[in-house]
């Protein structure tokens, strides 16, 4: 039974690329020596499959440094992430494919003898976590592992399958890496959130409770700040649509009839975290757009002034309106 179930999951992971859900962006950029996987999960019934292509010619051994930064799926947004890091090993022209906790042994199942992933612990402590995975092999990398990194150009993909929620999602790292560096900085102009100076995002939502909407946020910075010091913190607030209002910090949102209502709610996230429409808007304002609405999501300081912090934000939608439980996840577009 277990082997049959695992084979079914592996087959599903291959097909997930064709699923309606996607959490990557449409535009791609050239590969570098690092990768950012902004969403991995070890939730009960959920599996994260990773693929990494290593284009380093005929190199015999290529160490890839893996850094996981995660927290419990039930942890407060203000909680720090814990990190786990170490070297994986591949060879030139290698394709490394694995499930992050080795709950499905992908290399063993398909006869891959040249890839050795750095797995996340399949233990009680490693269960029900979510967070990020950073992979780096810049030649100046100094992680204490003794590895000699060789600037291999990396390309990555992830497949998320959650058997409890019906989620089957895939994304690539095509524009989620940054400039090659011993300490990659994912918040710079080379990073994944470099579209505008304000780093604003456009939120929208379907009627609630027909569709339950949750946002997953990853404040970005250097690898050190995102993982080894517990995570970067960002404070999120909804803003009005015009450039003048947004610049002046007019907080609020629109319902599905284009009518604006101001609000002063906000949600703070450290490392990774989630917020709902109600937690973002507040109890007084949430009913205004219960039938659908939209807003610009902006990062602000504690006084409500625009702070212009880089981050990645994803929208997770769950519904039973189309039969069974179906979930979708998609990257929130920049303003």
Tell me the CA distances in angstroms from 150 to 113, 154, 182, one per residue in order: 21, 11, 11
Residue 144 has pLDDT above 90, yes or no: no
User: What is the rounded CA–CA span in Å between residue 308 and residue 306?
Assistant: 6
What's the predicted TM-score (pTM) here? 0.90
Look at residue 174 in the predicted model and tell me its pLDDT: 87
Q: Say whether pLDDT at 161 is over 60.
A: yes
Residue with tokens 């996607």, as numbered in its chain: 22
> Does the structure show a pLDDT above 70 at 249?
no
Query: How many CB atoms sit inside 10 A of residue 115's CB?
Result: 19
Percent of the chain with pLDDT over 90: 64
Contacts of 75 (CB under 8 A, 6+ apart): none
pLDDT at 2: 44
| Contact (CB, 8 A) for 312 and 220 | yes
Token pair, residue 253, equals 């949102």
Rounded CA gap, 315 and 203, in Å?
Answer: 8
Residues in contact with 55: Cβ distance below 8 Å, sequence separation at least 6, in sequence order: 31, 92, 93, 152, 153, 154, 155
Q: Are strands 21-22 and 167-172 parallel, antiparallel or unpaired?
A: parallel
- Of residues 62 and 96, more confidently modeled: 96
Predicted local confidence at residue 27, as pLDDT: 55
Does 112 have pLDDT greater than 60?
yes
- Please provide the average confidence, as pLDDT, over all residues in the chain: 87
Contacts of 291 (CB under 8 A, 6+ apart): 207, 255, 256
Per-residue pLDDT at 87: 96
């Amino acid at each position: 039974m277990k082997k049959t179930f695992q084979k079914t999951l592996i087959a599903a992971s291959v097909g997930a690329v064709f699923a309606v859900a996607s959490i990557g962006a449409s535009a791609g950029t050239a590969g570098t020596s690092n990768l950012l996987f902004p969403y991995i999960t070890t939730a009960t019934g959920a599996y994260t499959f990773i693929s990494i292509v290593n284009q380093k010619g005929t190199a015999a051994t290529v160490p890839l440094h893996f850094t996981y930064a995660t927290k419990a799926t039930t942890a407060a947004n203000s909680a720090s992430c814990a990190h786990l890091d170490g070297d994986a090993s591949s060879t030139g022209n290698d394709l490394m494919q694995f499930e992050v906790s080795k709950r499905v042994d992908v290399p063993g199942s398909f006869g891959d003898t040249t890839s050795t992933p750095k797995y996340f612990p399949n233990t009680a402590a490693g269960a029900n976590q979510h967070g990020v995975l950073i992979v780096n092999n810049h030649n100046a990398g100094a992680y204490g592992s003794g590895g000699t990194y060789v600037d291999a150009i990396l390309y990555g993909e992830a497949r998320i399958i959650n058997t409890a929620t019906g989620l089957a999602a895939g994304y690539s790292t095509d524009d989620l890496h940054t400039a090659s560096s011993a300490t990659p900085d994912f918040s710079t102009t080379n990073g994944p959130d470099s579209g505008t100076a304000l780093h604003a995002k456009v939120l929208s939502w379907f009627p609630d409770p027909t569709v339950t909407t949750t946002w997953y946020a990853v404040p970005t910075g250097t690898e050190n700040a995102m993982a080894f010091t517990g995570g970067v913190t960002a404070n999120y607030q909804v803003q009005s649509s015009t450039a003048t209002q947004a610049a002046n910090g007019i907080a609020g949102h629109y319902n599905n009839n284009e009518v604006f209502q101001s609000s002063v709610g906000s949600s703070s996230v450290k490392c990774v975290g989630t917020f709902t429409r109600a937690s973002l808007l507040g109890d007084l304002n949430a009913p205004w757009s219960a039938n659908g609405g939209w807003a610009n999501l902006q990062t602000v300081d504690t006084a409500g002034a625009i702070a212009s912090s880089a981050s990645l934000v994803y929208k997770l939608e769950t519904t039973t309106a189309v039969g069974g439980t179906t979930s979708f996840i998609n990257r929130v577009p920049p303003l």
